[in-house]
Amino acid sequence: METLQIILNIAVMLVLLGLLFWMQKKHISFTKRVFTGLGLGILFGVALQLLFPSGSAVIGKSADWFNIVGRGYVGLLQMVVIPLIMVSIISAIMKLKGKQNLGKISGLIIAVLLITTAIAASVSIVTTLSFDLKALEIPAGDREIEQGAKLEQRLGDVADKTIPQQILDFIPKNPFADMTGARSTSTLAVVIFSAFIGVAVLGLDRKKPEQAEMFRKMVDAVYAVVMRIVTLVLRLTPYGILALITNTVATTNPQEILKLIKFVGASYVALIVMFIIHLILLAIFGYNPVQYVRKVLPTLVFAFTSRSSAATIPLNVETQTKRLGVPDGIANLSASFGATIGQNGCAGIYPAMLAVMIAPTVGINPMSWDFILTLILVVMISSFGVAGVGGGATFASLIVLSTMNLPVALAGLLISVEPLIDMGRTALNVNDSITAGVITGKVLGENDLEAFKRNVDLDVAQA
């Protein structure tokens, strides 16, 4: 009976995938297909929740099959991340007028990422205090206690490295190993290595122009091939979102969420407020927030369902360049930096919220200005260093809590709702990187404003 139920679930998924394929053949827009996949995934996930009990083997085994489409798509995106970053950044730098431009671009992007992270921490502190969230009010079961113990063990890995040491990990000591994703900082290391290649070509222009021109043609050819691969992979986005959101909804335990609904609600209030602040910043720089949201929503939906900033890089870059008018070099740098530095959700809102919740357990007044200002500064600095140890929100929290001398084990109390909150955090991280790219391009006067004004759908089906 169990096998038959699994087969039926797989059959339903195949029918839904077939519907999306039919929509693609009918040339229905990419955005509509993305949201159709999202809606169908939610409905199918809810149906599975109603038909089978929580923790059912049928759901678990069905999810394994669905992952061929969902996680398979994420894997394909990760496959093109490194080649895309390399050729795009090398190509973009080769077209720059001088090395100073690269410094300006990188400096502006990092400045926006860090400043918005400090704002995100402030929003998180206000939200946590407004909702009166306290760690002592959260029930601790065996699972939460076990997670707390794991966090304490992980703390040793984090505590062994200072923030300067973590930043040193960004240096590509072995760029070929970094191309394989060998380290948590591999993405940023590849960015730095690619930048060196681009700058070297600029220097070669003056001394050996023939060799420089030959190399440019090679990079241009590789760039064309890589962008074609990206286009082919992005066609699968609606299918990937359908499978990912189905698994997320089907495997989420509603009872666990209800126990921590106050924390989940406060988290999403903070995330939404910070998203609105992003829109205000864009409006200040002359961008219509409504039009911006329409253009970036498919990318944010994927980030939300996949919970991976790194996997979203290709879609992030495509959205910035094709829909928002950001130059290739700036788009690639902002997407790459944003996946490792200054993540507003994972390294800003989440660690600050945990710190304010946990502070009273050790007799610290979370409303004191000394505590608040120190926390904002620590969050901003550690959001730059967190990529040195990897692990996203968990490691960011470990760094912040340990630096503030707060018990890290209490962060394990939220394990049951971690995936649900992480979806929103990832979407905010990606939106922050897009915001940084748009603002940087506008400040440097390099954005194509007409591309932003055009009602262009990111439809890769015809490409």
Nearest to 420, CA basis, from 290, 297, 256: 256
Residue 107 has pLDDT above 70, yes or no: yes
**H/E/C letters for each residue in the chain?**
CHHHHHHHHHHHHHHHHHHHHHHHHCCCCHHHHHHHHHHHHHHHHHHHHHHCCCCCHHHHHHHHHHHHHHHHHHHHHHHHHHHHHHHHHHHHHHCCCCHHHHHHHHHHHHHHHHHHHHHHHHHHHHHHHHHCCCHHHCCCCHHHHHHHHHHHHHHHHHHCCCHHHHHHCCCCCCHHHHCCCCCCCHHHHHHHHHHHHHHHHHHHHHHCHHHHHHHHHHHHHHHHHHHHHHHHHHCCHHHHHHHHHHHHHHHCCHHHHHHCHHHHHHHHHHHHHHHHHHHHHHHHCCCCHHHHHHHHHHHHHHHHHHCCCCCCHHHHHHHHHHHCCCCHHHHHHHHHHHCCCCCHHHHHHHHHHHHHHHHHHHCCCCCCHHHHHHHHHHHHHHHHHHHHCCCHHHHHHHHHHHHCCCCHHHHHHHHHHHHHHHHHHHHHHHHHHHHHHHHHHHHCCCCCHHHHHCCCCCCCCCC
Q: What is the pLDDT of residues 143-178, one digit of tens each?
A: 555 655 666 565 555 555 666 776 777 788 888 888
Q: What is the pLDDT of residues 401-420, one digit of tens each?
A: 878 888 877 666 666 677 78
Residue 101 has pLDDT above 80, yes or no: no
Q: Which residue has the tokens 């909150």?
A: 421
For the chain, how many structural domains are there in total? 1
User: Is the residue at 312 inside a domain?
Assistant: yes
- Measured on CA atoms in the order 223, 317, 303, 307, is the torsion positive or negative? positive
Q: What is the pLDDT of residues 14-43, one digit of tens each?
A: 999 999 999 999 988 888 898 899 899 999
Q: What is the dihedral of CA 86, 87, 89, 93, to 10 degrees?
A: 130
Which one-letter amino acid corresponds to residue 359? A
Higher pLDDT, 249 or 395: 249
Nearest to 338, CA basis, from 181, 112, 145: 112
Residue 254 has pLDDT above 90, yes or no: no
Token reading at 47: 């149906």
Residue 307 CA neighbour count, 13 Å, CB half: 15
Task: State how far the Cα of 282 lies from the Cα of 292, in Å rounded to an integer.
Answer: 9
| For residues 40-49, average pLDDT | 91
Using CA atoms, how far residue 405 sits from 143, 367, 384, 399, in Å, is 24, 17, 20, 10
Higher pLDDT, 44 or 2: 44
Residue 233 CA neighbour count, 13 Å, CB half: 25
Token reading at 216: 């440019």
Which one-letter amino acid corresponds to residue 382? S
What pLDDT does residue 389 have?
Answer: 41
Domain CATH number, residue 228: 1.10.3860.10
Task: State how far the Cα of 135 lies from the Cα of 404, in Å rounded to an integer.
Answer: 16
User: Is the residue at 367 inside a domain?
Assistant: yes
Instruction: Report yes or no: 40 and 49 within 8 Å, Cβ to Cβ.
Output: no
Q: At what angle do helices 57-94 and 186-207 cross, to 10 degrees?
A: 20
Task: State how far the Cα of 83 lies from the Cα of 89, in Å rounded to an integer.
Answer: 10
Q: What is the pLDDT of residues 189-236, one digit of tens each?
A: 888 898 889 888 888 888 888 888 899 899 889 988 988 888 888 888
Instruction: Report yes or no: 202 and 419 within 8 Å, Cβ to Cβ.
Output: no
Give me the chain's average pLDDT, please.
83
User: Is the residue at 459 inside a domain?
Assistant: no
User: Is the residue at 326 inside a domain?
Assistant: yes
| For residues 294-300, average pLDDT | 92
Q: What is the pLDDT of residues 72-83, one digit of tens each?
A: 988 888 888 888
Confidence band (pLDDT; 50, 70, 90) for 188?
A: confident
User: Is the residue at 262 inside a domain?
Assistant: yes
Name every residue whose Cβ is closer than 8 Å to that of residue 107 and which is 6 or more positions away in sequence.
none
Name every residue whose Cβ is closer than 8 Å to that of residue 287 and which is 6 or more positions away in sequence.
438, 442, 452
Q: How many CB atoms lie within 10 A of CB 120?
A: 34
User: Is the residue at 226 inside a domain?
Assistant: yes
Q: What is the pLDDT of residues 419-460, one digit of tens each?
A: 788 889 989 999 999 999 999 999 988 898 888 887 655 555
User: Is the residue at 461 inside a domain?
Assistant: no
Instruction: Report yes or no: 73 and 243 within 8 Å, Cβ to Cβ.
Output: yes
| Range of weakest confidence among 265-274, 299-308, 363-372, 404-413 | 404-413
| For residues 124-144, average pLDDT | 76
Count Cβ atoms within 10 A of the Cβ of residue 390 and give its class: 0-12 exposed, 13-18 middle, 19 or more buried: middle
| For residues 257-263, average pLDDT | 78
Task: State how far the Cα of 355 lies from the Cα of 402, in Å rounded to an integer.
Answer: 10
What pLDDT does residue 32 have?
Answer: 87
Count Cβ atoms within 10 A of the Cβ of residue 3 and give its class: 0-12 exposed, 13-18 middle, 19 or more buried: exposed
What pLDDT does residue 377 have?
Answer: 92
Instruction: Report yes or no: 178 and 189 within 8 Å, Cβ to Cβ.
Output: yes
What pLDDT does residue 204 have?
Answer: 86
What pLDDT does residue 118 have?
Answer: 94
Which range marks the domain in which residue 368 is found?
2-453
User: Is the residue at 463 inside a domain?
Assistant: no
